[in-house]
């Protein structure tokens, strides 16, 4: 039984393939077409999934799409009458969905009649919830999806058991935690798609001094619900206006906060204006108000479902700071967040919905690692390395696994910045030890060095640690696994000075716990670094420079060439750049205005 899940015509386009109840492959289109947050039709992602499964498009039995035009049709029509421009845009997208069969046939140069798969339209939030619960380790759990907007709802919760889920409640347009966070992110001067996580990082620098006002902007309502103060927003009257930047086709969301926000909170920050303590406090308040609502929602869900396990999906599930509070603030004891919790994950969710809820198949798959993307053979990697000739000014060595790990750990301990490219690419927005840039977490200056030489990010944004799973309790105040970097925990007070580079200003860190079973090579590297330094933690940031995370070895080599990385480990090859004065004296000003 072959089921193809496709998230198309929307940011974070992706594909996933499930064969006989097990996920075989999943990848975002952006990794393959190199356009960040790529939308449109994910032809390359679909091709990769079919190739991984060793099947042709005509072999596929079911195709699942996470969009249901009939869901909440009454609400959709009501708003269509009020917002004609928004309605036209919706109609355009729905027309595209209606033509997905033809797009598939065209992309694969197939006769449309030869595609025998049955098509299924899965409601957006049901697909989100399925993307977490059906691949979680839990037989029974409470499930929550929360995002900006999908099929005219922003949130849904359920109780899942075995291959079924029973919906307990939903929150519909225009009330939305995602819209709330995005609107205030815009107000704070961050307009790029996906900038919300920047404000989450900024929040740690402030105090929630505007909470009384923010409780009018968003507040928990009856159990399993929340409300926006609609006078602070425009999306309910004008529609969320999504367009695509000409230059790189990245999505742009039009302004969704109203002039009332400025009347109540003062003028919005312009992107070029400096960040002041007031902005820090606004960000802190924004995060605090979100957490108040989420804690109330989680508590209500724990009570209604009677469950101790929770699965989270939707863009709000990436709020690792809020997620870190679940264990102290709610009855939930175990939490699963799938690595692609956002809309990319819908392809997985739609496919598993068909497998379990449509076809009634039992569950037999757990997503316990994130390596569902492209992998490259040693021969393919060797061919790329051979292109890095001496003109690159690098020394090249080929090592067996044991020496590779020792050499890499020594480089990191010596303060080198190491590009680490191994195995299959990660699914989801986080590099988790296969397409990562690694550095020494013990060096406080490492954050600035990484920003100056490679990442060019805002200085207030934290870097993350990867820690050997068995050492978590030694360094952190909580030990619940965070294999996909979706929780922030307080670093133990006495350890904050030991790993200053990835410890945020508020003493927390967005950690990745690395187990031997999920990623043996990365685990060995971290353990070996621990043997050398006494600290089984490495700083881990995504392997990219103002682009989607590298996918192919060629892209890793290109990124290494362009940036001031010291070492590139590509499979079993170690490429070490001979030091030059540029690496030491790189002026920070050169990168002013760049970010990623
Ligand atoms: Fe969504």
Distance 35 CA to ligand 1 centre (A): 19
CA dihedral 271, 317, 370, 17 (to 10 degrees): -100
Distance 125 CA to ligand 1 centre (A): 7
pLDDT over threshold 50, residue 585? no
Task: Read off the DSSP letter of residue 514.
Answer: E
Distance 344 CA to ligand 1 centre (A): 8
Task: Read off the DSSP letter of residue 453.
Answer: I
Q: What pLDDT does residue 593 have?
A: 33
Distance 551 CA to ligand 1 centre (A): 24
Average pLDDT value for residue range 468-483: 97
Q: What pLDDT does residue 249 have?
A: 66
pLDDT over threshold 90, residue 192? no
pLDDT over threshold 50, residue 588? no
SS3 496: coil
Q: Sorting pLDDT into bands at 50, 70 and 90, what band is 584?
A: very low
Instruction: Residue 412: name the closest of 437, 445, 381 by CA.
Output: 437
Distance 323 CA to ligand 1 centre (A): 18
Q: What pLDDT does residue 106 have?
A: 87
Distance 537 CA to ligand 1 centre (A): 33
pLDDT over threshold 60, residue 544? yes
Distance CA 304, CA 49 (A): 38
Distance 29 CA to ligand 1 centre (A): 16
pLDDT over threshold 90, residue 209? yes
Average pLDDT value for residue range 451-462: 87
User: Which residues make beta-bridge pairs with 156?
Assistant: 145, 170
Distance 266 CA to ligand 1 centre (A): 31
Q: What pLDDT does residue 248 have?
A: 66
What is the per-residue pLDDT across 93-148, written as a single tens digit (0 to 9) for each?
777 777 788 888 888 888 888 899 999 999 999 999 999 999 999 999 999 999 99
Average pLDDT value for residue range 559-577: 94
Average pLDDT value for residue range 245-266: 84
Distance 153 CA to ligand 1 centre (A): 9
Lowest average pLDDT, out of 111-115, 351-355, 473-477, goes to 111-115
Question: Which token pair is 553?
Answer: 């070895």
Q: What pLDDT does residue 391 have?
A: 60
Distance 178 CA to ligand 1 centre (A): 9
CA distances from 250 to 34, 246, 490, 558 (A): 11, 8, 34, 22
Average pLDDT value for residue range 364-368: 97
**How many helices, marked H, and strands, marked E, lie in the chain?**
22, 23
Q: What pLDDT does residue 586 have?
A: 42
Q: Write the Ramachandran bin of 537: left for phi over 0, alpha for psi from -120 to 50, otherwise beta.
A: beta
Q: What pLDDT does residue 590 have?
A: 32
Question: Which token pair is 368?
Answer: 């316990």
pLDDT over threshold 60, residue 591? no
Give percent of the chain with pLDDT exceeding 90: 76
Distance 473 CA to ligand 1 centre (A): 34
Q: What pLDDT does residue 596 have?
A: 35
Instruction: Residue 420: name the closest of 432, 403, 429 by CA.
Output: 432
- The answer to whether the beta carbons of residues 325 and 291 sit under 8 Å apart is yes
Distance 318 CA to ligand 1 centre (A): 12
Q: Sorting pLDDT into bands at 50, 70 and 90, what band is 92?
A: confident
Q: Sorting pLDDT into bands at 50, 70 and 90, what band is 327?
A: very high
What is the per-residue pLDDT across 151-179, written as a single tens digit (0 to 9) for each?
889 999 999 999 999 999 999 989 999 99
Question: What's CA 442's distance to the chain center, in Å?
Answer: 26
Distance 234 CA to ligand 1 centre (A): 20
Distance CA 416, CA 419 (A): 10
Q: What pLDDT does residue 254 have?
A: 85
* Residue 243 burial (10 A CB sphere; 0-12, 13-18, 19+): exposed
Average pLDDT value for residue range 214-218: 97
Which residues, other chains included, contact 240 with Cβ-Cβ below 8 Å and sequence gap of 6+?
86, 148, 149, 179, 253, 254, 256
Distance 332 CA to ligand 1 centre (A): 23
What is the per-residue pLDDT across 396-441, written as a single tens digit (0 to 9) for each?
999 999 999 999 999 999 999 999 999 999 999 999 999 999 999 9
Average pLDDT value for residue range 346-363: 98
Omega of the bond prior to 174 within 30 degrees of 0, cis?
Answer: yes
Q: What pLDDT does residue 72 have?
A: 82
Mean pLDDT for the chain? 91
Q: What pLDDT does residue 594 have?
A: 35
Q: What pLDDT does residue 246 have?
A: 67
Q: How does DSSP assign 235-300, residue by residue? A: HHHH---EEE-TTT--EEEPP-B-HHHHHHH-PPPPTTSPP-HHHHHHHHHHHHHHHHHHHHHHHH
Distance 362 CA to ligand 1 centre (A): 26
Distance 166 CA to ligand 1 centre (A): 19
Distance 577 CA to ligand 1 centre (A): 42
């Amino acid at each position: 039984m072959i089921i193809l899940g496709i998230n198309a015509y929307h940011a974070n386009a992706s594909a996933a393939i499930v064969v006989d109840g097990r996920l075989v492959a999943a990848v975002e289109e952006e990794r393959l077409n190199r356009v960040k947050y790529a939308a449109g039709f994910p032809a390359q992602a679909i091709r990769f999934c079919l190739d991984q499964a060793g099947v042709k498009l005509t072999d596929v039995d079911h195709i699942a799409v996470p969009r249901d035009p009939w869901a909440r049709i009454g609400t959709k029509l009501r708003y269509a009458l009020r917002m004609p421009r928004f309605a036209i845009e919706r109609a355009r997208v729905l027309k595209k969905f209606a033509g997905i069969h033809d797009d598939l046939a065209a992309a694969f140069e197939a006769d449309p009649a030869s595609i025998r798969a049955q098509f299924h339209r899965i409601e957006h939030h049901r697909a989100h919830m399925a993307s977490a619960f059906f691949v979680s380790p839990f037989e029974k759990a409470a499930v929550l999806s929360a995002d900006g907007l999908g099929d005219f709802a922003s949130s849904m919760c359920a109780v899942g058991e075995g291959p079924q889920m029973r919906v307990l409640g939903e929150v519909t347009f225009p009330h939305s935690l995602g819209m709330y966070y995005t609107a205030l992110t815009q107000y704070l001067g961050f307009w790029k798609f996906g900038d919300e996580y920047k404000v989450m990082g900024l929040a740690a620098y402030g105090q929630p001094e505007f909470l009384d006002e923010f409780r009018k902007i968003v507040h928990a309502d009856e159990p399993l619900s929340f409300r926006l103060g609609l006078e602070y927003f425009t999306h309910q009257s004008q529609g969320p206006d999504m367009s695509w930047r000409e230059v790189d086709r990245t999505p742009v969301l039009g302004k969704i906060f109203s002039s009332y926000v400025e009347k109540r909170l003062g003028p919005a920050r312009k992107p070029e204006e400096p960040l002041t303590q007031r902005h820090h406090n606004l960000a802190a308040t924004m995060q605090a108000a979100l957490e108040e609502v989420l804690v109330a929602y989680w508590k209500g869900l724990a009570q209604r479902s009677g469950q101790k396990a929770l699965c989270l999906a939707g863009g709000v599930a990436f709020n690792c700071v809020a997620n870190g509070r679940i264990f102290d603030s709610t009855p939930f004891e175990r939490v699963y967040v799938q690595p692609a919790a956002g809309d990319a994950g819908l392809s997985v969710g739609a496919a598993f919905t068909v497998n379990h809820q449509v076809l009634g198949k039992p569950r037999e798959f757990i997503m316990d690692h994130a390596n569902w993307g492209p992998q490259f053979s040693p021969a393919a990697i060797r061919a790329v390395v051979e292109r890095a000739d001496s003109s690159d000014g690098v020394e090249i060595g080929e090592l067996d696994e044991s020496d590779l790990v020792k050499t890499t750990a020594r480089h990191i301990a010596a303060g080198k910045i190491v590009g680490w490219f191994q195995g299959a690419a990660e699914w989801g927005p986080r590099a988790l030890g296969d397409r990562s840039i690694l550095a020494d977490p013990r060096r406080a200056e490492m954050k600035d060095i990484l920003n100056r030489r490679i990442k060019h990010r805002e200085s207030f944004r934290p870097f993350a640690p990867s820690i050997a799973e068995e050492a978590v309790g030694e360094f952190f105040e909580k030990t619940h696994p965070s294999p996909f970097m979706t929780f922030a925990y307080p670093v133990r007070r006495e350890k904050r000075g030991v790993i200053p580079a990835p410890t945020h200003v508020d003493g927390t860190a967005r950690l990745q716990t690395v187990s031997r079973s999920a990623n043996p090579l990365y685990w060995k590297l971290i353990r070996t670094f621990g043997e050398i330094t006494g600290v089984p933690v490495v700083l881990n940031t995504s392997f990219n420079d103002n682009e989607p995370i590298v996918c192919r070895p060629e892209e890793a080599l290109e990124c290494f060439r362009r940036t001031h990385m010291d070492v590139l480990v590509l499979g079993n090859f170690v490429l070490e750049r001979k030091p030059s004065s540029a690496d030491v004296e790189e002026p920070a000003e050169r990168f002013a205005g760049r970010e990623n």
